[in-house]
Amino acid sequence: MTSPRLAALILGALCIRSAAAALPVGATAPDFRAPAAFDGQRLDYDLVATRSEGPVVVYFYPSAYTSGCNVQARTFSRDHDKFAAAGARVVGVSLDSIERLQAFSADPDFCAGRFPVVSDADGRIAKAFDLRVSAGGGGYRDTRGEAIEHGFAERTTFVVAPDGRIVAAISGLGPEQNVAAALKAVQAMTRTAP
């Protein structure tokens, strides 16, 4: 069995690895529809419908209830009103099961019912965004001590314009810096919008 410290180091490396292969700025974001959780409730998330209401921050993260991902979710939750004031919506995407995400989405210490999180259990969405997806297993445990039995997508955040164009692709930053960079990109985009 892998020690919790080794698992945290491996997940940390996945979280800050540069996403050189990720879709670039100017590319068209792949549209997707997938199961999601919002404040503990299941729903069908549709990127096309969401971006018709304004820019969307699509953030990929390795796993719910892991140290860096907890910080990132908490920061997106804390800054939710700033994203909303800039006209943007936030959605998280991971390879977690919908059941894990139902708990994570409602957890007052993390998502706090502020934004939906999508279950990309087979990694199809992450791969469509040209993100690296690693295999699961290996005895990893989350911060609650529960086994993580799914693969991991690298931490990368995309800001998607209403027309589907990617206006920012953010990787290689720590969780809080990732959120700050996404907010800055959204605010710059909405300041220059006609």
**Count of domains for the chain:** 1
Domain limits at 153? 4-192
**pLDDT (average), residues 60-81:** 93
Q: What is the pTM of this model?
A: 0.86
CATH number at residue 54: 3.40.30.10
Label residues 24-42 b or e (16+ Cβ within 10 Å = b): eeeeebbebebebbbeeee
Summarised one tens digit per residue, pLDDT across range 108-134 is 999 999 999 999 999 999 999 999 998
Catalytic positions are: 69
Summarised one tens digit per residue, pLDDT across range 137-183 is 677 888 888 888 888 999 999 999 999 999 999 999 999 999 999 99
For 11, 50, 58, 62, 115, the CA distances from 32, given in Å and listed in that order, are 26, 11, 11, 19, 17
Q: Supply 48's token pair.
A: 């096309």
Contact predicate 19/131, CB 8 Å = yes
